Amino acid sequence: MNTKSLHTRLKMALLLHSRESGFAMVIAVSLGLIMILVGLTMTMRSQGDQITASQQKATDQALAAAEKGVAYYQQFINANRMLSRYDDCGPTNPDRATQPAGTSCSNTTAVSWANAATVPLPRVNSACNPGTADPDAIADAASTIWQAVDSTDVTKGQFRLVSYRYKPDNKNPDPNDDLSYYPGKGTLIVEGRMANSTSNDEETKAKAKAITRLQVVIPVKRPDIENVPIPGVWLGGSSTEDPDATGKNPIAANLLVNNCSLELTDINIVGSNFSAQKTDLSMPTLPEMPTTGVINLGTISTDTTIPVTTGPNASRHRPITFMGQPNTYVYSVDGMTGSGNTTLSVTSPNNVVIFLNGNIDKNIFVDYCRDVNGNRVSNCNPMNFKIFGRGPVGSFICLNGNRYLEAFILAPNYTVGVAGGGGGGGVKGAVWTRSWSNPNSSTVEGDCASNTANVVVEQQGSWSSLIGLQPKYLKPTIDPITSWQRQSVNN
């Protein structure tokens, strides 16, 4: 073999071997770098997934905290249902949903939750019902600061009120008619989050930043009057005027009193179906006397029968539609005074209304449930005969203690009493007035201080007989939530 040729081949082999070694090194180094990048990527992705998972968990926990907040305010509104018609901060205040947590209500004069301690909320701050919130508690509820879901366990998170706004379906509610504000809708916005933290740990910071906002709509409906026991006696006077309500006079009726300091145990209720209660409700406003169709009887001092349906005066006694009731005879009377057995006979079963401008004394009998011949009418409903007392404070209705007046009496400024009562007398129906004349009352009228063992009021009738005469400030009905929206907020 040629020595030169062998040398050449050996040289070429060495050169080829040298080149392959360098290429392998490059490949090895490249693969190492790729593995490092893949490892870093996987590590970063794992950390990102962990943060994302923490954020999702925190968001879920924030949602749970917000739901707790919604439940809290639902319960608060339901316990203080008159609050449902008032905004948390007033309708003209800037939307606190756009303000930082803890922002104070800048509208300090509006009738609202936030101003409850300084601006009275009609019939919200109950003097008669200690179960309702006081003004300071209502103002505290209007705060937008964060509060703990559970003060003993910070891990359950926090919630805060963002805003509550009420909008009646009626675009122009009447301020003098509280029922015109119903029905309507209350929009409640609440936020929830995990407890705030100053930690630099990314997971903890993610939890602190996760805030969930919930907006719910709460339907506010008209009160259901059928759930309110109808009072046979309602006394709206103060404690000085009427320190012991009806006193020891027995009444077979539900009793309502606006004197919240009264001791109800001294009231003599007859019958297990009736009870005495303190109330923040107000008597209905006296209806306006019609401008036409009213018959003026002046002062009644002699035997009188109404309505007159036969004879030359029958044309004057024509019924009208009054308060939605057709065929109603409406009269204006300046006062009733008699001597002995003077009687006003009101024939039945007609709907009859008397607007009383003065007093009724004990010497006159008002007899509703008889016909023109003096015979008892079997289908008489006392609530179809209504007396609306329009006199000033100090006016009185003194009933004869020997006979019953069968009627519904609404006389907000009057004192009502029963003179004597040896034969049984008083009211069958209902009487809503300022005070009851009894020996301990400061408004005793003459010898009309009721002091008898006979039942002076026998309650009859139902709400269906008193259309348009519902009490004021009845609590609305709060229905379940009808709308639920979730909104994420990142601070």
Query: Are the CB atoms for 448 and 418 separated by under 8 Å?
Result: yes
What backbone phi and psi angles, to 5 degrees, belong to 490?
Answer: -115, 120
Query: Are the CB atoms for 171 and 130 separated by under 8 Å?
Result: no
Residue listed under structure tokens 């309500």: 245
Assign 135 a pLDDT band (cuts: 50, 70, 90): confident
Please state whether 300 falls in left (phi above 0), alpha (psi between -120 and 50) or beta: beta
DSSP 351-362: EEEEEE-S-B-T
Paired tokens of 219:
């339907």
Q: What is the percentage of the chain residues whose pLDDT exceeds 90?
A: 40
pLDDT in tens, 40-74: 777 666 555 555 555 566 677 888 999 999 999 99
| Average pLDDT value for residue range 66-84 | 93
Tell me, what's the pLDDT at 51? Answer: 52
Tell me how far CA of residue 301 lies from CA of 93, 235, 317, 417, in angstroms: 61, 28, 19, 20
Paired tokens of 348:
């039945």
Tell me, what's the pLDDT at 288? Answer: 94
Q: How far apart are CA 463 and CA 36, in angstroms?
A: 85
pLDDT in tens, 333-343: 999 998 777 89
Tell me how far CA of residue 367 lies from CA of 154, 199, 297, 304, in angstroms: 72, 84, 16, 10
Query: Are the CB atoms for 418 and 248 separated by under 8 Å?
Result: no
pLDDT at 459 over 50: yes
pLDDT at 10 over 80: no
Q: How far apart are CA 398 and CA 416, in angstroms?
A: 6
